[in-house]
Amino acid sequence: MKLLRVSMLGLTVAVLGAGLNAQTPGSTPARAELSNQKKEKAPDTSVRSVEGVVRDANNNPIAGAVVKLKDKKSLQVRSFITSADGSYHFHGLSRSVDYELKADHNNQSSAVRTLSVFDSRTKAVVNLKIEPKETSSKESPKS
């Protein structure tokens, strides 16, 4: 028996038979198999992603918060509105650029967090917490 495999356009065709000649009496009939299995691609290490959850001071997730991602090289800003569970994500980020992340909701903001070029993770997790703005209690000077 001979097995012949031919790959065309991502499909593998296997022909199994007693040779390439016509079938002879008593031999096993030839058969063909098609396989549409894709080969596993190696992960792309030239890009990375960042994801996380935006939470309030009581650690509850915040839906509808605006997360801004700032490219520190080009100064381009991308934004994402958090889902019902407070989650956000950005994909296709360059590994050779620093990014700043900040969340805003109802006139309150999180601290700015940095995703550095020195962070080797391909899927970074950066959670953001929105704290109430502190009001300053300065007394007016006495005259």
Give 40-70 pLDDT, tens digit per residue: 766 667 899 999 999 999 999 999 999 999 9
pLDDT digits (tens, 9 = 90+) for 10-19: 545 554 444 4
User: How does DSSP classify residue 43?
Assistant: P
Per-residue model confidence (pLDDT) at position 23: 54
Q: What's the CA angle centered on 126, arms 96 and 130, to 5 degrees?
A: 130
pLDDT above 70 for 80: yes
Q: How confident is the model at residue 143 (pLDDT cuts 50, 70, 90)?
A: very low
Domain range for residue 24? 2-35
| 116 & 74 share domain | yes
Indicate the residue type of 142: K
| 31 & 51 share domain | no
| 20 & 55 share domain | no
- On whether residue 81 sits in a domain, the answer given is yes
| 56 & 25 share domain | no
- On whether residue 134 sits in a domain, the answer given is no
- On whether residue 113 sits in a domain, the answer given is yes
What's the number of domains the chain is made of? 2
| 29 & 7 share domain | yes
